[in-house]
Amino acid sequence: MTNLTNTHDMQIDKILIPENVILQRVQELGCQITNDYHGKDILLICILKGSLVFLSDLMRNIDADFTLDFIQTSSYGNKTESSGIITFHHEFTTDVNGRNVLIIDDIIDSGLTLHYLREYLLSRNPLSLRTCVLLDKPTRRKKHVEINYVGFEIPDDFVVGYGLDFNEKYRGLRYIATLKQSSAS
Ligand code: IMP
Ligand code: MG
């Protein structure tokens, strides 16, 4: 099963996590969240744009009442290394005060984005605040961040697909893949 275009084909190195493995794990995460939040109302805050595909599969595996909001940040520009400066492009609109907030992110790398966002949300008095990421690159951490749900730990490689991009490309791939060195630098 492939949905690579010719252009994509030239730059993908290898498939790190195939579609069926991602979907199985997302289902498990959904079950875990459903059990942990039993009977509680959740506010899912999705960090755009990379987490959109993950969110859409994950939320269909959460059997609980939830509302959705979105936040957009960036720290990468067109590079594969974080600039360390977090920019907000879209702010959420829901009142966080007294809510059970669950942040949904595609990947934690340096931890700078999630550290910043957690502090920002905590200052708005949520009842609880947890974080769920699909991918974790633990060896690259610059800031310690408490992560409650992790899909997969991955090595220090720049990855694309299943919502993740390089220069806005590759988001539509059904799997997670690494890029050839020349296209990721
Ligand atoms: P951090 O602030 O360094 O933890 O990076 C967080 C954000 O950087 C993630 O939410 C992604 O949007 C992006 N990012 C980090 N690593 C990768 C990667 O390997 N591929 C694509 N995007 C990434
Ligand atoms: Mg992101």
From the CA of 162, which ligand is nearest?
Answer: 1
Residue 163 pLDDT: 98
The predicted-structure confidence for 25-40, as pLDDT tens digits, reads as follows: 999 999 999 999 998 9
Residue 6: the pLDDT is 45
Give catalytic status of residue 109 as yes or no: yes
**Residue 21: what pLDDT?**
98
Closest CA to 136 of 128, 144, 126: 144
How close is the Cα of 39 to the center of ligand 1, in Å?
Answer: 32
pLDDT category at 79 given cuts 50, 70, 90 is: low
Give the pLDDT mean for 51-67: 97
Lowest mean pLDDT among 9-23, 25-39, 42-56: 9-23
Q: Is the CB of 105 under 6 A from ligand 1?
A: yes
- Write the pLDDT tens digit of every residue in 104-120: 999 999 999 999 899 98
Is residue 76 lining ligand 1, measured as CB closer than 6 Å?
A: yes
Q: Token digits for 96?
A: 């966080």
Question: Is the CB of 178 inside a 6 Å radius of any atom of ligand 1?
Answer: no
Is ligand 1 within 6 A of the CB of residue 106? yes
* Nearest-atom index, ligand 1, CA of 108: 4
Task: Indicate which atom in ligand 1 lies nearest the CA of residue 105.
Answer: 10
Q: Tell me the residue type at 72.
A: Q
CA of 106 to the centre of ligand 1 (A): 7
- What is the pLDDT, as a whole number, of residue 94? 86
Task: Assess whether pLDDT exceeds 80 at residue 181.
Answer: no
Q: What residues have their beta carbon closer than 5 A to ion ligand 2? A: 50
- Digit-coded pLDDT (tens) for 129-146: 999 999 999 998 999 999
Determine the pLDDT at residue 170: 96
Q: What pLDDT band is residue 1 in, cutting at 50, 70 and 90?
A: very low
- 181 three-class SS: helix
- The one catalytic residue in 9, 109, 136, 165 is 109
Structure tokens belonging to residue 99:
């809510």
Among 84-93, 123-132, 137-146, where is mean pLDDT lowest? 84-93
Higher pLDDT, 92 or 145: 145
Q: Which of 6-20, 51-65, 140-154 has the lowest mean pLDDT?
A: 6-20
Sequence-separated (6 or more) residues with CB below 8 Å from residue 109: 82, 137, 140, 141
- Adjacency order of strands within the sheet including 12-17: 12-17, 176-179, 159-160
Nearest atom within ligand 1 for CA of residue 106:
10
